[in-house]
Chains A and B, each alone.
Chain A
């Protein structure tokens, strides 16, 4: 076992873990943060996307110990004291989710895209989420949601 210390959504955690433990299982099973979903297990579907420091990664293909000393952001950390993130409001507004399984990963990628490209084209959005699968095939409304979030970024 290895002592792992990292920061998740602004809170520092320390746990003893096996080196082979995947980050997605650490977040869900050790920390109880079940917002991140465990999907295909093969880094294809993107349900497990979280931020590792400043970038989204597929946490089924990252060992928890690789995150030692780093900052993780999960869907539980998207909202702030000011309320829901515009991306979260957008998914509610535009019916951006059906079963909701892909939603946490989609929203974290959307937040990253809008931080780097506040006015994306539809093609930019589709490219950004191209590594993520919606099993309900609800892509139209997911794209619409991200564009809505871009247009309403400044709204209270």
Chain B
């Protein structure tokens, strides 16, 4: 039988209230969103906070909207809500691709976007997707709000730049012309973590890749990013040869480790192949050629 250790509990009624409570109990507090990462960690004593601050009542952190040229996602948005959003599907196909393969439909009903990001599991899909999309994280504390690039959000496995008594409140994604994106994952079974996964976003100017983002999950890529592959592609044309070459560069630049999900050389193979395939999907979508789900 797995149960968490003794813990105190308080329920936040507003973002300000949550920040006040977090500050009162820091650093032995954890904010509790869906709890689908935190509660299993508490059962295993990998996390043992003294106090849980339940933020599920903060409905003002639950939204998806387009403001100017930015998509804004409140961090209490449930995975299922992100997957159900036509706005997200129309502009950021990568997020729908990723959400379809994150855990299972029941877990997605209650797990939150912000919770997944703050858990900072090195195999977490949305971290790679938001890195590929070059998103911005909005973090609030009692002293004010700061913005951090999605690529600087994670400082290591299970570690982020969010400090005690701070709350990740919003993710912003730029909506730019000529864009297309996609995400691919290989898992051992339905609902599992990835053996390897890659997300790609491209912004085309004619046939030239004006800008590109490549995110990798579960293969030991720094900050979930394949920066060398991006550098190679930027300014080149979106040919099959160039996309394949980018996959090779991504594979060479990551550092997968062998574990129960697979050997390192297989994960490196996945990094190469999934990067190239995700790029192909992204380019096809940027050209308006492909609206389908990836295979």
Interface residue ranges, A against B (CB under 8 Å): 2, 18-22, 25, 41-44, 46, 49, 52, 55-58, 61-63, 65-66, 68, 109, 127-128, 130-132
Contact = CB atoms under 8 A, between A and B. Distances in A.
Contacts of B2: 41-42
Given A20-B5, A46-B106, A66 B32 contact: yes
Contact of A41 (B42, B43, B54, B104): B43
Interface in B101-151: 103-107, 109-110
A131 B106 contact: yes
A134 B191 CA distance: 15
A55 B81 CA distance: 12
Interface string B37-66: 001101100000000101010000000000
- Counting from the closest, the 9 A-B pairs by CB-CB distance are A131-B104, A19-B9, A55-B109, A20-B4, A131-B106, A41-B2, A57-B110, A130-B190, A61-B39
A22 B106 contact: no
Given A55-B80, A65-B54, A131-B191, A20 B106 contact: no
A58 B39 CA distance: 12
A130 B4 CA distance: 27
Nearest to B51: A19
Contact of A43 (B9, B11, B105, B107): B107
10 contacts: A19-B7, A19-B9, A22-B3, A61-B35, A63-B39, A63-B52, A66-B32, A68-B11, A128-B105, A131-B191
A22 B43 CA distance: 10
Nearest to A22: B3
Interface in B1-32: 1-9, 11, 32
B36 interface: yes
Category for how many chain B residues contact A? 20 to 34
B42 to A, nearest CB: 8
A25 B109 CA distance: 20
B32 A61 contact: no
A131 B108 CA distance: 10
Contacts of A25: 3
B189 to A, nearest CB: 10
A127 B293 CA distance: 15
B56 A66 contact: yes
A56 to B, nearest CB: 5
Given A65-B54, A131-B191, 7 more contacts: A20-B3, A56-B106, A57-B110, A63-B39, A109-B105, A130-B105, A131-B107
B54 A66 contact: yes
Nearest to A19: B9
Given A43-B40, A55-B110, A56-B106, A62 B9 contact: no
Interface string B148-190: 0000000000000000000000000000000000000000001
A110 B276 CA distance: 38
B110 A130 contact: no
Given A55-B80, A66-B32, A132 B106 contact: yes
